[in-house]
Amino acid sequence: MYLNRRRGFFFGMAPAGRADTLPPLPKYIADQGKLRVGVKCDYQPAGFLGSDGKPTGIEVDMARHIAQVAFGSPDKIELQCVTSENRIAALMGRKIDLILATLGIFPERQKVIDFTTPYFWGSSSFLVLKNSPYQNNADILDKQIIVLKGASQNNWLAKKRAEGGTDTHEQQRRRAAKPAPGAWGGVHRRYRLTDYPGAGQSRCAHAAHKPTI
């Protein structure tokens, strides 16, 4: 399953990044003297490891800009690699202060997470072989499908599926470095999930804790 999205949040960044127009930095973040941000390290161009082994990418640049606004230096930041599966848990466990890791906006997440204004729109698709007979959701929902653990599409897929095994990308990678011929779809052609919530207009933004009263 292919995810073409970007998501995120911050404490109310002003259009020009002017610190004097922003609400106060949360005290616990100010006291720690740096911003701890969860980013993807395997998802180009949003976030990935550069040739120096350090996180780089569009969302990493955004994180550094936020640190510049918050602390006056883009280096006042601690970047932590997160996955679709553990990013929200890391935020809720206070291991990070902010998620900039392709996080989609959904009502269930909004109950516990604050999001910024979306900064990217995209869509979700199935990837199949170029000569595959599959043309739409109905053709493939009862087949084996590789998914990413923790991805928002998984709940949608679980509700839509008939019989058939769902495999995760992580599980498949451990099982075999190279799938058997014909076992899994290639990335030669894709079609959109036509009735996936927000299909064609998936919203992406930064995310942080909701303020506690």
Domains in the chain: boundaries? 2-120+202-209, 121-192
* Model confidence pTM above 0.75: no
Query: Which two structure tokens, joined as six digits, stand for 2?
Result: 């292919």
Q: pLDDT below 50 — which residues of the chain?
A: 1-17, 172-194, 196, 198-204, 211-213
User: Nearest to residue 97, comparing CAs of 19, 17, 150, 38?
Assistant: 38
Task: Give the per-residue pLDDT at 79.
Answer: 97
Instruction: Give the pLDDT of residue 20.
Output: 60
Task: Rounding to the nearest 10 degrees, give the CA dihedral for residues 103, 106, 112, 114.
Answer: 60
Tokens linked to 99: 């998620």
What CATH code is assigned to 2-120+202-209? 3.40.190.10
Q: Are 77 and 44 in contact (CB under 8 A)?
A: no
Residue with tokens 């995120």: 8
Parallel, antiparallel, or unpaired for β 98-100 and 35-39?
parallel
Contact 22, 137 (CB under 8 A): no
Please answer whether residues 102 and 40 qualify as being in contact, where contact means their C-beta atoms are separated by less than 8 angstroms: yes
Cis status, amide bond into 107, omega within 30 of 0:
no
Q: How far apart are CA 168 and CA 163, in angstroms?
A: 16
- What residues does 209 pair with on adjacent strands? 113
Q: Residue 65: which residues within 8 A CB-CB, separation 6 or more?
A: 17, 74
Looking at residue 31, what is its pLDDT? 94
Q: What pLDDT score does 29 carry?
A: 92
Q: How far is CA 51 from CA 48, 54, 55, 56, in A?
A: 10, 8, 9, 9
Identify the pLDDT of residue 18: 52
